[in-house]
Structure 1
Amino acid sequence: MLKRLGRGLHYWILCINPFSRFIEASPRSFKATFHAYKRDVVGRYIFKHGEHGPEITRLLLGGSIPSGGVYIDVGANIGYFTVLLSKLAGNGGIVRAFEPEPGNYALLKRNIDDNGCGNVKLFNCALGEKEDVLPLGLYKASNRGRHSLLKNFGRGTVSVPVKRLDALVDGDAPIAFMKVDVEGFELPVLRGAERLLPQVQNLVIEFSPGLMAEARLDVAELVALLERHFSRCYKFNPLSGEPEAVDFPCLLRQRDQVDLFLRK
């Protein structure tokens, strides 16, 4: 407890430093150092708690995802999971990471370079069902992972290129793992990856029925698409963090945003 309080105090001392917008933070469970915006939730959580997305971190480090393969990170943010996937990929694997927002992408590139992730290829674009240029709605500075192609949060937008995943990744080789975290835009992303999805062995996707409903995207279509390509679906238990099996039809009754884990 005292150690955590000490780290919290240290964090706030760094926050009042007027000469830097960034902090350095290191996770407990794997060797890496991340540069992050000092007031953003991702860097703050890594700095104070030594991890980000503990359920997915545990999944990737727990041995159920094979090493040495091909990995895809859609919505890479500053690169926490990209770096972790790079370590899982090792010398024989490759990671492709996608991040459209310019500030996040700059930190993503810096973190990939500083952590020596030579097996990572970065793409400064969003993904969707067709090539386009769209306005990315910018969320407040305390959570730069909430930027969304679905919503204007009243804090401005930035125009970003949109590509199809099928046009950027070879669909003939197995994909060991793919993560998709794009704040409600998951359905257009997967529509643009229909050729690739049969090769994806394990998928973690943020399921956002509320955001989809606001944007008039069909939640039932997304659930049907997932069921068509995967035989098993899990939700992470909010207390234990462990994945628990869930039937696909139950997802249609889901109201809150939740991470799903799907397997062939």
Structure 2
Amino acid sequence: MNATPQSPSRLAWLDQAIGVLRSLVIYRRPGRQQGLKRMYAPFIQPGDLVFDIGAHVGDRTRAFADLGARVVALEPQPQLIPWLRRAVRGRTGVSIRREVAGPRPGSAQLQVSRRHPTVSSASRPWVQSLRTRNRSFQHVRWDEEITVPMVTLDQLIEEYGSPAFCKIDVEGLEAEVLRGLTHPVPALSFEFVAGALDVTRDCIEQLDALGAYGYNLIAGERRRYQFAEWQSGAAILAWLEDHGERMGSGDLYARRLPALPARGERQG
């Protein structure tokens, strides 16, 4: 007997279920929360406000909340929202919004990978170019497009206040997110991906235009900074150009440097 072919809708449901399960295995593994809280504790004090832009299944949203922060979490993928809500169940002060952040208010077209929801992106050029520029993305298919609301970081600041920390993980849209920010924030992180360092360079240039920042980076899902001392944006970019290919991806952290005393002013 010939097997009955599965309907497109059933195959789409199966792909989506596999994708969500993959994310849960990666981001909900035992011991991960303790490591995340140790990593973010230097940036966050109880009562602080944190923006989680690209919250996914909520592993970092949960860590922020458990550190005592008020959290605004943006996640545009509808299939992930129930898991994000479960991650922070019973925790107060968490606002979940099904939106993307970007350079202006409005809407965006989200390119969804059902089997790899971590790389769903509102940046079509990033999606189109990354398969040829990063070999680890060659097997990924973006097989659905949905319209999602877009807000700016400035809008979120106007509504909630200025965050102590802002995590940005939006698969190629990081520089566009920062275009919607005109206020320097104390600390933030954004993802970098080998083959797309032009986005990283754009992010650093925008942050340096807002204020003086020091930078460090963490490879992949590790919990250890690459450098013992925080670096300038130029130094970080030079290092990534030499070593970023073998690293693949990771997160770049920026913290605002204290203002230098004016010329002639005595330091305490």
TM-score by length of 2: 0.69
User: Distance between the aligned counterparts of 2:223 and 2:73, measured in 1?
Assistant: 29
Q: Which residue of 2 aligns with 1:231?
A: 213
Q: Which residue of 1 aligns with 2:169?
A: 181
Q: Which amino acid aligns with 1:78?
A: V
Q: Does 1:206 align with 2:179?
A: no
Q: Does 1:263 align with 2:245?
A: no
Q: Does 1:159 align with 2:147?
A: yes
Q: Which residue of 1 aligns with 2:93?
A: 119
Relative distance call for 1:185 and 1:240 in structure 2 (3 A) is closer
Q: Does 1:241 align with 2:237?
A: no
**Ranges in structure 2 where 5+ consecutive residues have no aligned partner:** 1-13, 129-140, 257-268
Q: 2:46 aligns with which of 67, 73, 84?
A: 67
Aligned residue pairs, count:
215
Q: Which residue of 1 aligns with 2:74?
A: 98
Q: Deviations over 1:193-225 (max 9, x none)?
A: 223xx2x21212112363465xxx6x5432212
**Ranges in structure 1 where 5+ consecutive residues have no aligned partner:** 1-17, 23-35
Displacement, 1:241?
1.8
Relative distance call for 1:47 and 1:202 in structure 2 (3 A) is closer
Task: Give the SS at the match of 1:169.
Answer: helix
Identical amino acids, percent of aligned pairs: 23
1:235, 1:246 within 8 Å by CA — same for their partners in 2? Answer: no
**Higher relative contact order at CA 8 Å, sep ≥6: structure 1 or structure 2?**
2
Q: Deviations over 1:40-73 (max 9, x none)?
A: 1x3113455532795x543124x45333211110
Task: Give the SS at the match of 2:32.
Answer: coil
CA-based RMSD: 3.0
User: Distance between the aligned counterparts of 1:247 and 1:171, measured in 2?
Assistant: 32
2:157, 2:163 within 8 Å by CA — same for their partners in 1? Answer: no
Q: 2:24 aligns with which of 36, 43, 62?
A: 43
Relative distance call for 1:130 and 1:209 in structure 2 (3 A) is farther
